[in-house]
Amino acid sequence: MNSPLKQFYYKKNRLQQLKGFYNVAEIGNVSKAAAKMGLNQSTVTLQIQSLERDLKTKLFEKKSKHLTLTKDGELFYGMASYHLQAIDSLYEVFLSRKNQKNNSRINIAAHHIAISYLLPNYIKKLTKLHPNVTIGIHNISSEDAIKRLKENELDLIIYPIINPTPELLAKTFCSFDPVLIMKNDHPL
């Protein structure tokens, strides 16, 4: 049976094509993403070009020396990141479940700011107190995090202002005052 949508493949490896897109979206630079993946720049560029061609949309736009996602790119990134992170953590999840008698795993989903600035100190303290606990951290959208929390795939989530539902308990553990920062000659 032929699908109405053309199957998109980069050298018959859709996963590699998606990983190229994901890493460039994360880093914003093809050369650095290629180095992280152990590939050359032209290979990752071809992966992205073939993905854009197959999806019939532009996923990136170049701003200075940095690549940023277009609206379609943001939509696709949100969809792809969930699945790629699940694939990347498959090995760890398997081993964790296999050895669940001896080890415990805490799966946390958080906003990238929480991952970068709030969690490191807490995780350091937790791993000192409980060295057999494995911590999985997932940078996914709040909608995906809530869905996965309800499906018991996550133990807790850390996001700015989420409206809890009756089956979820929400606690504020930190707050900050927003600050607007701009150049002195900005019209505002």
Question: To which residue do tokens 């379609």 refer?
Answer: 72
Residue 3, phi then psi, degrees to nearest 5: -80, 145
pTM, 2 dp: 0.50
Residue pLDDT, tens place only, 40-96: 999 999 999 999 998 999 999 988 878 999 999 999 998 998 888 888 888 887 876
**CA atoms within 13 Å, Cβ hemisphere of 78:** 11
**CA atoms within 13 Å, Cβ hemisphere of 92:** 15
Query: Which tokens belong to 73?
Result: 């790119």
Virtual CA dihedral for 159, 161, 163, 165, nearest 10 degrees?
40
**pLDDT score recorded for residue 41:** 94
Chain-centroid distance, C-alpha 39:
21
Q: Are strands 66-69 and 60-63 parallel, antiparallel or unpaired?
A: antiparallel
Q: Going along 64-128, which residue ranges are E strands?
A: 66-69, 104-110
CA-to-CA distance for 176 and 101, rounded, in angstroms? Answer: 40
Report the b/e string of 54-75 with b at 16+ CB within 10 A: bbeeebbeeeeeebebeeebee
CA-to-CA distance for 112 and 159, rounded, in angstroms? Answer: 9
Percent of the chain whose predicted confidence (pLDDT) is above 90: 31
Residue pLDDT, tens place only, 126-155: 888 888 788 899 999 888 888 888 888 898
Query: How crowded is residue 34: how many other Cβ atoms within 10 Å of its Cβ?
Result: 21
